[in-house]
Amino acid sequence: MRIRIVDAFTDRPFTGNPAGVLLFGPDGFPDDSRLQQIAAELNLSETAFAHPLPPGGAADWALRWFTPATEVDMCGHATLATAHVLHTTATASGTVRFAARCGILTSTAQPDGSVALDFPTAPLTPEASPQGLAAALGAEPVSVHDTGPHTGDLLVEVADEAAVRGLAPDFAALTAHSRRGVIATAAATGPGCGYDFVSRCFFPAVGIDEDPVTGSAHTALAPFWSARLGRDDLTGLQASARSGLVRTSLRGDRTLLTGRAVTVLDGELLVAL
């Protein structure tokens, strides 16, 4: 069984967000416990597992994602990593449709070598800042929004880019404030920096203190910042230590997430499934 590690939302190795990718045959997935063990062994924020579906259906591949601790409903960077593997190995071309927990997702290879993902736009619901959130995050919220059922995050706007970059959260305390995690964001410091907004994402409830570059979070960041900046096409910088760029295009109830990826490891899983 081939196993690959792909750095997503970057064009340089050892930056962006690494994801494991395993492609199975048409017989389907092994037991959930085995998938979880593989994801725990890789110890990346997500490992993607996919297998081809019979032709003529609504999707071409079944796709699932596991953190080291649990299965998740939606993951952008591991979907980009999977699409990258399918395209670079000539396993698929053009547009690929994935059947996932959150519905049908598509990936389309772009002429410049990037991949565009079509994801559902997160429904944002404003709410009051929960008691203790400011202390857990390490910054006073300007606004707080729930991001809906697929991600279960809190989107927290803070004062400025410097505040986002300087966050040092209490991860144990953050687990009390959302089902998955907290997205902290602010507008870019100024024009000409190559991005429109910044973010950092903290998911200790699913075993990830800080995720390097989170595609699924941008399904919430896109409508949030498009409403404030008055443009549907934006670029977000996730200001983690590894860093990465996500281009977002708001299309009503769908959001396009576009980025590049680089395969950094291609090996063989030696354990029987």
Residue among 122, 144, 133 nearest 215 (CA)? 122
Are the C-beta atoms of 185 and 154 separated by less than 8 Å? Answer: no
Q: Which residue is associated with the tokens 């934006």? A: 234
Report the alpha-carbon angle 126-131-132, nearest 5.
120
For the CA atoms of the chain, what is the radius of gyration? 18
Residue among 27, 32, 81 nearest 54 (CA)? 27
Catalytic option among 41, 46, 140, 210: 46
d(CA 23, CA 45): 18
Which H or E run includes 223? helix 218-229
The backbone torsions φ and ψ at residue 134, rounded to the nearest 5 degrees and listed phi first, read -60, -45
268 noted as active-site residue: no
* Catalytic residue IDs: 46
